[in-house]
Structure formats: C-alpha cells, structure tokens
A and B are shown apart, each in its own frame.
Chain A
Amino acid sequence: MQADLRPDAPTKVRRTIKYESERVKGFGREVMAVPGCDQLVRCIQCGTCSGTCPLSVYMDHSPRQIMALVRADFKDEVLRSNSIWLCASCYACTVECPREIRITDIMYALKQRAIKERLYPKRFPIPVLAREFTNMVRTKGRITETLLVMRLFMKANLGAVLSSWRQGIGLLRTGRFVLRQERIEHRAELAAMLATTDNHAEPAPKHNQEAA
C-alpha cells in the first residue's frame, strides 16, 4: 500500500501491531491444558517446525509463529488463520522438534477449538470436509470416499465437480467409484457410544428419572 501524501488526504491509518489489552488472556494456558499440548511452554522459537513443514510456504503464520501466538494469547489470529487447516498431519515437526513439543497435536487442538467456536474462513473446504466426514461416520460407521467427496463438492465447491469429471470417469473405468454406502451392522450401538461423550458433566440422568 502506498501512502497518500497529499496535504488534503484523509488521515486514516491502520495499526499493524496489537496492544496487549486486545489479547484474549488465558487462551494459551487453555491450549496447553489439552492433553499432549503441555510441552508448548518449552518452545524456544528455533523454527525447526517451520523448516520441516512441507506446507508452511502457504501459511499466513508459520508453525513457529503459531506456537508463539498461542503462548501469547493471540486467540483470534491463531483460530482464524489458515495455518491450522493447512496442517496435513505428516508429523514431521513433531518428530523433529528439539523440545519434544507435539506440534501436530497442538494443531488438532486448535482445529477443534476453531470448529467449536465457528472461527474458520467461510466455505473453507477443509473444515467442511471434517464435518461431513464425522457426520457420515456417526450415522453409517464407515466412510465411502466417493460419496463423501461428492457431498464435499456440493457443500463447499461446486466448481470442483466440473473440473474433476475426468477423474470421475477414471474411477468408473478402474472400478473404484463406489456408490453403495458402506455401513456397519451395529450403527445404533456406535451412535450410543459416541453420545456418551456429549454429557461430560452429568453422566447420571437415569438416577434423576428413577428419583422422579
């Protein structure tokens, strides 16, 4: 952006650095309290994670910056960044980190948080895929990839259907295009299992009923 230096130019300026008061105090500590994320406190900002990450070149904040931002309570910057969604879980950073910080797991904790608080770029296909994936697993018990991808295209990126027609034909030709939904036998059982984690606080509504 070029500064407008005319004498009658509007005096609008934009601050590029945050004041301390704008941070969300406690965010870093909350993330570090997630099992597996506690080692973040030991980060020395060496940048090995950013160096090993095959996707850091596309990220708005490199993994090293994400680690620093989390620790310094920059919640919005972290949860709205594309970095956490670009992490492909290759675990290169986790294996290489000299401080044994489980960076991939921290990225997962941040993804969970961003989904919970709905803080991700709209129509960004990666969280949409995650949501469609979990829906299919919860109701069917298994994933049928071709059906999942079609749902993703419909929800996030209709244009992709058109640009992928050759691939679709290839899948048909090689017998890999599966239209029959795979499902498990005990679907209700699985759904009930997953539901038990919904009510952490009061695991005993039964007793209430009995009492009533």
Chain B
Amino acid sequence: MIYSYFPGCSLKGLGRAYEESLLPVMRHLGVELVELEDWNCCGATAYMSVDESKACVLAARNLAIAEKAGAHDLVTPCSACYLVLNKTKHQLHDSEQMRSTVQRALATAGLTYGGNTPVRHPLDVLVHDVGLDVVKEKVVRPLKGLKVAPYYGCQVVRPYATFDDAWNPTTMDRLLTTLGAEVVDYPLKTKCCGASLTGTLPEAGLRLSYILLKEAIRRGADVIATICPLCQFNLDAYHDKLAKRWGPVRIPTVYITQLMGLAFGIPAKELGLNRCFVPMKPLPAEPAPAPA
C-alpha cells in the first residue's frame, strides 16, 4: 500500500515524536508513506484568519503537488493539516471564483488542481484500509492492563471527516482495544484542548487542557492517547503552569502511534517516547521480551 504523505510543520518540530512513531509503525504494517516533494505549510487556522484566498492557494499547492506525484491518497497525521486540506477541497468544489483564483496562482508554477486526491487521516487508513485484523497480527506485546483515555480533539472529526462520528468517534477506541489496552470511557474525547489559546490567552486556553487532564485522571486512565501534535503539546507541556493555577493533573499524553509501536515490540527509544515532558511509565508487568 502506497500513500503520499504530508507531514506538516509540527511533525518536524514540536510534534516530531509523532512522525518518529508513525513512520516505523506504518512500515511495520506494510504501508509506504512517500513524503510530498517540497510541501509547504498548510496555513493552519492562522492563515485563514488573515486572508482566505491566500490560505486556499497555500493548501492547494500541496494538493496539486500530490496530484502530480501520482494517483495515491494523501495521508496527513496532523489535525489542522487534515482539516485545512479537506476544507480547501470543499471550498474549491463549492466556489468557482475561488477555483479560478487558485488555478491562476498555481499556473505560475506550472501546477494545476484537479480535485481528485482524497485527503485521509492515519486513523482512517489504519482501521479501514489496513484493517484491525492485520494490526492484531502484528501485536507481540499486548498493552494488557494499560488504561487509556482516547482523545481525538476537534479538527479530525469536525466538520469534514467522513470516516468517524463528530462527537463520539470510535476508530481509536477500537484500535486501542486491538492492541490489548483497556479503553476508559472518556466523554470529553472530542472537546477542544484550547489550541493556540494556551499560549496567547492562557487563562482561557489552559483551563480547557486542565479539564481534559483532570477528567482523564478521574476516569482512571494511566495515559491519554492523542492524534494531534497541538493536543499533545497542550496536554503534555504546560503541567507547571497548570499545577500552579489549579493543582497538579500529571498524566502522560502520547500519540496513538507510539502505543502501537510499543505493542508491535518496537523499542520505546525509537518511538520518540523520550520526548514527553510527562514520561509514560513502562508497560505494566508482563515478562519483558527477551533483550536483543
């Protein structure tokens, strides 16, 4: 299985552990991710706040490059990238004016937008293309006894995802169960983490992260699993400030792909697990696999 791969800026920066775990896990499952050549920032939420046409051009350049690269689906792991690329497809489909603006811009670089590259999330690919039965076959170290709160965040499930529910998504829950983990009931799974407000307006932004962390602890989770680099950062990197404001809510937040890697027997070090502010404890007792 071959897919085009759009990592997005975060996966080369604050969220590098996401890429470090995604790539080996996908390789392990026989999925080849081919990184788009010279991709640019999707524009995220910030560009859309400033200029809609430019935001569309930015995202469309990536879509056009993907089309040029071949007839593969485009996989993007970051929630903001996933939303923006899909949103742009919708905008270009709905508005003829926007389409011609974008085509004119792309033409200056010899690119063109045809609109036929599906933009997909790894969760979608893992559950619907690879299949949970294939994932199960690869599990050598089941995550038995590990209680996980599945946290999806906003922008993967809302408003463009067609592969899961906007309020009560279950793909990650099922994936975690397949890995042998115990999924705790976590009703806040699609609530906002505060996004960039944690930095720009901490009083409002950090409170949202705090609520998510506190509820995960109250529900008995050992760890929170996430699929978004900004969610991971917000839930992992502000514990000092959170504790000072409202009291300690220390619980590790890791990427679902890191948990998959552990279950596949890939060493923690190769999965970027050393990059967490709040480290994840070693898996609950079970004879460790024979040291290599």
> Is residue A41 within 8 Å, beta carbon to beta carbon, of the partner chain?
no
A149 and B199 contact, Cβ closer than 8 Å, known pairs A35-B95, A112-B51, A186-B38: yes
Known: A167-B238, A185-B38, A190-B61. A145 touches B9 (CB 8 A): yes
CB contacts (< 8 Å) of A143 on chain B: these are: 9, 13, 41, 44
A205 at the interface (CB under 8 A from B): no
8 Å CB interface, A67-117 against B: 86, 88-92, 94-95, 104, 108-109, 111-112, 115
Interface assignment of A22: CB less than 8 Å from any CB of chain B: no
CB of A142 within 8 A of chain B? yes
Q: Does B170 contact A (CB under 8 A)?
A: no
Question: Out of A54, A174, A186, A194, which one reaches B57, CB within 8 Å?
Answer: A194
Chain A residues, Cβ within 8 Å of B58: 137, 190, 194
Among the 9-residue stretches B127-135, B153-161, B172-180, B252-260, the one with 4 or more Cβ atoms under 8 Å from chain A is: B153-161
Given contacts A95-B159, A174-B276, contact A88 B197 (CB under 8 A): yes
Contact A197 B155 (CB under 8 A): no
- In the assembled complex, A47 has its CB within 8 A of some CB on chain B: no
Which residue on B lies nearest to A174, using beta carbons? B275
Cβ-based interface call for A118 (8 A): no
Closest beta carbon of chain A to B252's beta carbon, Å: 12
Closest to B43 in A: A137
Of B67-75, B100-108, B142-150, B284-292, the stretch lying at the interface with chain A is B100-108
Which B residues between 185 and 208 are near A, CB-CB below 8 angstroms? Answer: 191-192, 194-197, 199-201, 203-205, 208
Q: B195: which A residues are within 8 A, CB to CB? A: 88-90
Q: Is A189 an interface position by the 8 A CB rule?
A: yes
Q: Do A171 and B46 have beta carbons less than 8 Å apart? A: no
Residue in chain B with minimal CB distance to A115 = B50
Interface of B is mostly: helix
Residue pair A108, B57 in contact (C-beta under 8 Å):
no
* Contact indicator B197/A89 (Cβ below 8 Å): no
| A55 lies within 8 A of B204 (CB) | yes
Q: Decide: A144 near B9, CB < 8 A? Known: A193-B109, A197-B53.
A: yes
Complex CA distance for A144 and B57, rounded to whole angstroms: 20
| Chain B residues near A190 (CB-CB < 8 A) | 40, 58, 61
**A54 close to B51 (CB less than 8 A):** no
Measured between C-beta atoms, what is the minimum distance from A129 to chain B in Å? 6
Nearest A-chain residue to B51, judged by Cβ: A112
Cβ B109 vs Cβ A167 within 8 A: no
Q: A92-B192, A115-B49 are in contact. Are A35 and B91 (CB under 8 A)?
A: yes
Residue pair A145, B43 in contact (C-beta under 8 Å):
no
Question: What are 24 residue pairs bridging A and B, where the CB atoms are less than 8 Å apart in the complex?
Answer: A35-B91, A55-B192, A88-B194, A88-B196, A88-B197, A95-B158, A95-B167, A109-B52, A115-B49, A125-B199, A126-B196, A137-B47, A143-B9, A144-B13, A145-B10, A145-B14, A170-B277, A174-B274, A185-B38, A192-B109, A193-B108, A194-B57, A196-B104, A197-B101
Q: Contact residues of B with A, CB < 8 Å?
A: 9-10, 12-14, 16-17, 38-41, 43-54, 57-58, 61, 83, 91, 94-95, 97-98, 101, 104-106, 108-109, 154-155, 158-159, 166-167, 191-192, 194-197, 199-201, 203-205, 208, 237-238, 240-241, 274-277
Question: A-B pairs with the 7 shortest C-beta distances?
Answer: A133-B46, A90-B154, A90-B192, A91-B158, A111-B49, A197-B53, A143-B9
